[in-house]
Amino acid sequence: MKIKSLEELQKIKEKALKEISGRETKKRGRIVVGMGTCGISAGAKDTLRALADELEKQSIDDIAVIQSGCMGLCEVEPTVEVQIGSEEPAIYGHVNEEQARRIVREHVMKGKILSDILVKRGKV
């Protein structure tokens, strides 16, 4: 028995194209979640979900959420890189769901660097 899954996808597409791509999407910044083996093991998919959820809750749609492979930072996974505008990227470590929401509320919304979970500034 097949559940009507593709129809549900069609609805997502219509919604997405209407609400989002309808207007010019000039992105203000991006958040990169490390999804290598270590990241996955440390729960990076929950971090990804929490980031998307909090951004949506705060009605932020000019930040791209991207996944990357191994960042070589196994000890501090899950890792998240935040880059807003032309500022230097900030790499955060041990980003669980709670920290992910903090990143959205503090860094993305107020431009505040969270020094307690900061791993480094600049490119990985």
Partner 1 sequence: MRTIADHVLDIAQNSVNAQATHVKIKFVEDREKIVIKIRDNGCGMDEEKLSKIFDPFFTTHKEVRRVGLGLPFLKQNAELTGGYVHVSSTPKIGTILEATLFKTIDCQPIGDLAGAFATLVTSSTDVIWEIERCLEKRCYEFSSKALDGVDLSSPKVIKMIFEYFKSMELSL
Q: Does 9 bind partner 1 (CB under 8 A)?
A: yes
Residue type, 30: R
Burial class (CB in 10 A: 0-12, 13-18, 19+), 108: buried
For partner 1, the binding residue among 24, 29, 37, 123 (CB under 8 A) is 37
Taking the complex as a whole, the smallest distance from the CB of residue 87 to ligand FES amounts, in Å, to: 26
User: 39 or 115: whose CB is closer to partner 1?
Assistant: 39
**Residue indicated by tokens 């219509």:** 14
Note every long-range contact of 17-21, with CB atoms under 8 Å and residues 24 or more positions apart, other chains counting: 20/61
Contacts of 55 (CB under 8 A, 6+ apart): 61, 63, 65, 104, 108
Q: Is 30 in the site for partner 1 (CB under 8 A)?
A: yes
Nearer to partner 1, 21 or 86 (CB): 21
- The whole-angstrom separation of Cα 92 and Cα 51 is 13
With binding defined as CB under 8 A, does residue 85 bind partner 1? no
Of the candidates 6, 26, 116, 122, which one interacts with partner 1 according to CB under 8 A? 6
Closest approach of ligand FES to the CB of residue 72, in Å: 6
Interface with partner 1 includes 51 (CB under 8 A)? yes
The residues that touch ligand FES, with contacts defined as CB under 6 A, are: 36-39, 70, 72, 74
